[in-house]
Amino acid sequence: MLVVIKKGYEEMSKEAARVISEIVREKPTAALGLATGSTPLGVYRELIRMHKEEGLDFSKITTFNLDEYLGLPPSHPQSYHYFMYENLFNHINVNERFVHIPSGMVDVNEIHRIHKYCDWYEDRIGEVGGIDLQLLGIGKNGHIGFNEPGSSLGALTRIKTLTENTRADNSRFFDNDIRKVPKYAITMGIGTIMNARLVLLIASGKTKAGAIKKTVEGPITAQVPASMVQMHRKAILIVDEEAGSKLDVHYERIVTDLN
């Protein structure tokens, strides 16, 4: 596992975008696993700049998003489909045929249909040869995607019931009304994430410092789902100084090999 500590959010974002751009340049047909939330926004801004100013070509890449709320149509401003197009896809030359975002319109009451859809999503990842790079954020409790504490460490794409804490955290995007936050989501499982050839986890701010410490230096446990990246054959964590402030080991502001 490699750890990179950058001075601030912008430096962290640019370093993460650089890692992604190297994958895209080396393998123009790469499959990228993408994340939503506030943390990746700077990464996406930098990738857009690279596309417009440096000619970074996304025309042949395939994308797979980590998750999506169930019950929100793609046009809903808080759907992750809407997020990805607003913050990245509308600004680069991605081919829509190669974009995959879990559907939020699968009927939560039709369990068999949901299972078939999740199997299809996994099959599609397999058909393109697997994910080359999976971008991740991290929750305050160490969750990745919608894999909450206690999630199976080997699970694949599936439906998840969101915890009250997660719904409360996300209510800021829904007029601070937890009643508007969906109760269910489709998410890649930790097993799916671990199958990616490279895992790139980013974090910013003091509120993520505890989760980063447990992820990097704590035991591997289902109570901190992100801790599983310790087992990944090629994981890179890029954090700013605030997010890395609780780490016991002294990390220089360069790539540091923990293992």
Which tens digit of pLDDT belongs to each residue from 157-199?
Answer: 999 998 888 888 889 889 999 999 999 999 999 999 999 999 9
**147 and 155 Cβ atoms separated by less than 8 Å:** yes
Active site residue 248: no
Active site residue 51: no
pLDDT tens-digit map of 56-68: 999 999 999 999 9
> Residue 106 — pLDDT band, cuts 50, 70, 90?
confident
Catalytic residue among 143, 147, 170, 242: 143
Active site residue 148: yes
Around Cβ 87, how many Cβ atoms within 10 Å? Answer: 16
Catalytic residue among 15, 122, 148, 169: 148
Element (H, E) at 199: strand 198-203
Query: What is the separation of C-alpha 67 from the centre of its chain, rounded to a whole number of angstroms?
Result: 8
Catalytic residue among 67, 68, 240, 242: 67
- Alpha carbon distance 230, 175 (integer Å): 37
Q: 169 vs 11, which has greater pLDDT?
A: 11
> Residue 111 — pLDDT band, cuts 50, 70, 90?
confident
pLDDT tens-digit map of 113-139: 899 999 999 999 999 999 999 999 999
Q: CA 96 → CA 52, 100, 220, distances in Å?
A: 18, 8, 37
Sign of CA dihedral 222, 227, 233, 237: positive
Catalytic residue among 65, 141, 170, 195: 141
Q: What is the mean pLDDT of the chain?
A: 93
pTM of the model: 0.93
Residues whose CB is less than 8 angstroms from the CB of residue 116 and which lie 6 or more positions away in sequence, other chains included:
none
DSSP assignment string, 52-65? HHH----TT-EEEE
- Alpha carbon distance 50, 48 (integer Å): 5
> Residue 249 — pLDDT band, cuts 50, 70, 90?
low
pLDDT tens-digit map of 139-151: 999 999 999 999 9
Active site residue 164: no
**233 and 201 Cβ atoms separated by less than 8 Å:** no
- Alpha carbon distance 29, 79 (integer Å): 27
User: Quick one: fold of 2-257?
Assistant: Rossmann fold (3.40.50)
